Amino acid sequence: MASHSVIDELKKTQILELLDQEKRVDGRALDEPREISIETNAVPKANGSAKVRLGDTEVLCGVKIQPDRPFPDMGDKGIFICTAELLPLSHPSVETGPPQPHVIELARVVDRGIRESHMIDLSQLVIEKGKSVVGVFSDIVVIDYDGNLFDACSYAATAALLTSTTPKWTMVDDKPTIVNGEEIPLPTTTIPVSVTMGKIGNHIIVDPNGDEWDSMDARITITTNSDGNICALQKGGNDGFTQEEVVQCGEISVRVGAKIREKLKEAQQGSR
Amino acid sequence: MDNKRKYVIPGDLVTTGPFRPEQNVLLEGNKIISTSIGISEIYDDSVRVIPLTGKYIPKINDLVIAKVLSHTSLSWELDINSCYVGFLPAQDVFGRDFSAHADELTSKLKTGDLVAARIANFDRTRDPLLTISDRDLGKIDSGALVQISPSKVPRLIGKRGTMIQTIEIATNAAITIGQNGWVVVSCESTEGLLKAKKAIQMVDEKAHIANLTDQVKEMLESESES
């Protein structure tokens, strides 16, 4: 995808001509994301999981929770790590092998949105300070690609974490041991929602599909938390955004994000 | 003829006997074995399998719609919706007196451009050689690209071109069908364009249904009424 797929000039012209009339190729409004469907507990053996469809983009996220050694400088906090991977079946241009730069970026942007919003209360995930903490690993695979992986992966990871349950551990003989009993939900504080916007010509569009993704000049991903505050941002592409455009994007991300947050809440309640 | 047609999968024995193997079959001893999913057809002296799925396999003289992927100083590389990459030499476009120093390839065709081309040469040992030096070939400047399965192309054309004529007459669109499953539709009215695109996609989805021409005709007429 991204690096190898070439969009034909006719389609590119068509996209731009439609945007000049405030229209999009798939009939959406400029600030309208595609239809989102969230299926939680899609992987029965994981601590939490979610399958998200955003239009024709489909991703699956699984969460594994297990005791781990803390980072040396963060002995009083649990660990959160997020990875992402594109399956070769997701798009003709995806090949096996080491991850491409844009896939590394994908994992980093999703990770940052969750980390910087302080969604997971990592201070509650300590078994013994400096010795053993709880690690939360969220692994995302892309099953089908049609643009905007950032948001699809971000919603999948967030939905999976919101519905994750974790066992309790205590230290027995210097080793973390599971305390028998019920599993508790992962301690979360907020729901981060990322909104990716593309810039084609002078137009800002929300949630670009595959064709729009290939023809856009620049993109910006803004993550907001439940209070409507911006907590993470990533800009990509060769073109730039003017100051006004950045402000406009910020406003869109808060407004559109709020609606998507409701869907994530629904998914969370539906799984209980 | 009809009783000899059957669905086959790769490895299926189609028939035995002194037949000439044509497309998508292998001859092993006197057994003729299918190499793809499709419908086998046995003629008086030959056997072939019409594929139901699969990528486009280039054939000499086929008209294809191609997309420019990149270029070197001597040639362009084109996506022809195949497992092979199309190869268009610069001399074909600039003429015999092409000079790699003086002529800039991007001045004629650049990445993302669509061209109507013909397969000039192909023998499976090298990438297919394309040509655009003929009437009606060359860069496509307007229209919309519709992608269908290459195995459904004969259905889209129909018996003696009936299907495509039906669509063209009903929508007033000019349709160029590449054998590789890429179709360019151009029409002056947006309505006609959308209708033609819808009809082409309908053929792609319902290629196995009998009387499809009538169904398409019906759809086109009902659309124009509403």
**Contact status, residue B215 vs residue B206, Cβ threshold 8 Å:** yes
CA-based nearest distance B141→chain A, Å: 7
How many CB pairs below 8 Å do chains A and B form together?
25
| CB–CB contact A8 B145 (8 Å) | yes
Instruction: Among B112, B143, B144, select the one facing A6 at the smallest CB separation.
Output: B112
Report the distance separating Cα A242 and Cα A248, nearest Å: 10
**Contact status, residue B26 vs residue B32, Cβ threshold 8 Å:** yes
Q: What is the mean pLDDT of residues B182-208?
A: 89
pLDDT attached to residue B44 = 87
Quick one: closest CA in A to B70, which residue? A6
Residue A2 pLDDT > 50: no
Q: What is the mean pLDDT of residues A121-150?
A: 95
Quick one: closest CA in B to A14, which residue? B144
Domain B2-51 matches domain B63-140 at the CATH topology level: yes
Rounded to whole angstroms, the maximal C-alpha distance in chain A is 70
Mutate which: A9, A12, A18, A93, vs B, most B CBs within 10 A = A9
Mutate which: A6, A15, A93, vs B, most B CBs within 10 A = A6
| CB–CB contact B114 A10 (8 Å) | yes
**Contact status, residue A258 vs residue A228, Cβ threshold 8 Å:** yes
Is residue A246 in a domain? yes
Q: Where are the beta strands (DSSP E) in chain A?
A: 36-40, 48-54, 57-68, 79-86, 126-128, 132-144, 165-172, 175-185, 193-200, 203-206, 218-224, 230-237
- What is the CB-side half-sphere exposure of residue A267 using CA atoms within 13 A? 29
Report the distance separating Cα A18 and Cα A30, nearest Å: 11
| CB–CB contact A6 B114 (8 Å) | no
Judged on CB neighbours under 10 Å (0-12, 13-18, 19+), A221 is buried
Q: Kindly give, in sequence order, each residue whose CB lies less than 8 Å from that of residue B94, ignoring residues fewer than 6 positions away.
A: B103, B108
CATH of the structural domain B2-51, one choice from 1.10.260.40, 3.20.10.10, 2.40.50.100, 3.10.20.590: 2.40.50.100
What percentage of residues in chain B have a pLDDT greater than 70? 97
Is residue A19 in a domain? no
Residue ranges in chain B assigned as alpha helix (H): 90-94, 153-157, 162-171, 190-205, 212-225
Q: Delimit the domains of chain B by residue range.
A: 2-51, 63-140, 144-225
| CB–CB contact B67 A8 (8 Å) | yes
Q: First and final CA of chain B: distance in angstroms?
A: 43
Report the distance separating Cα B173 and Cα B26, nearest Å: 41
What is the second-level CATH architecture of the domain B144-225?
A: 2-Layer Sandwich (3.30)
Is residue A9 in a domain? no
Domain coverage including residue A220:
33-270
pLDDT attached to residue A255 = 96
What's the pLDDT tens digit per position in A92-104? 889 899 999 999 9
Instruction: Among A7, A10, A12, select the one facing B143 at the smallest CB separation.
Output: A10
Query: How many structural domains are present in chain A?
Result: 1
Instruction: Among B68, B140, B144, select the one facing A14 at the smallest CB separation.
Output: B144
Beta-carbon count within 10 A of B157 CB:
17
| CB–CB contact A8 B142 (8 Å) | no
CA-based nearest distance A163→chain B, Å: 39
- Residue A188 φ then ψ, to 5°: -120, 150
| CB–CB contact B145 A14 (8 Å) | no
CA-based nearest distance A28→chain B, Å: 17
- The β-bridge partners of B86 are B78
Q: What is the mean pLDDT of residues B2-31?
A: 87
Beta strand pairing call for B144-147 and B129-131:
unpaired
Quick one: closest CA in A to B79, which residue? A6
Q: What is the mean pLDDT of residues A230-255?
A: 95
pLDDT attached to residue B2 = 46
pLDDT attached to residue B149 = 92
Is residue A28 in a domain? no
Beta strand pairing call for B63-71 and B31-34:
unpaired
Tokens of A87: 């399956």
Residue ranges in A122-193 assigned as alpha helix (H): 149-162
C-alpha dist (Å) from residue B70 to A5, B57, B111, B112: 11, 21, 6, 9
Residue A1 pLDDT > 50: no
- The β-bridge partners of A218 are A199, A237
Helix axis angle, A243-270 relative to A149-162, nearest 10°? 40
CA-based nearest distance B160→chain A, Å: 30
CA-based nearest distance B91→chain A, Å: 23
CATH superfamily of B63-140: Nucleic acid-binding proteins (2.40.50.140)
- The β-bridge partners of A219 are A198, A236
Q: Kindly give, in sequence order, each residue whose CB lies less than 8 Å from that of residue B174, ignoring residues fewer than 6 positions away.
A: B143, B168, B185, B186, B187
Mutate which: B145, B147, B185, vs A, most A CBs within 10 A = B145
| CB–CB contact B140 A14 (8 Å) | no
**Any idea which of A160-169, A174-183, A254-263 has the lowest mean pLDDT?**
A174-183
CA-based nearest distance A9→chain B, Å: 5
CA-based nearest distance A71→chain B, Å: 46
**Contact status, residue A5 vs residue A146, Cβ threshold 8 Å:** no
Quick one: closest CA in B to A4, which residue? B69
**Contact status, residue A159 vs residue A40, Cβ threshold 8 Å:** yes
* Band (A185; pLDDT cuts 50, 70, 90): very high
pLDDT attached to residue A92 = 84
Mean pLDDT of chain A: 93
Is residue A94 in a domain? yes
Contacts of B145 in chain A (CB under 8 A): 8, 10-11
Under an 8 Å CB criterion, which residues of B touch A? 67-69, 79, 111-114, 140, 142-145
Q: Kindly give, in sequence order, each residue whose CB lies less than 8 Å from that of residue A69, ignoring residues fewer than 6 positions away.
A: A131, A132, A133
Which CATH number fits the domain that encloses residue A50? Answer: 3.30.230.70
| CB–CB contact A6 B67 (8 Å) | yes
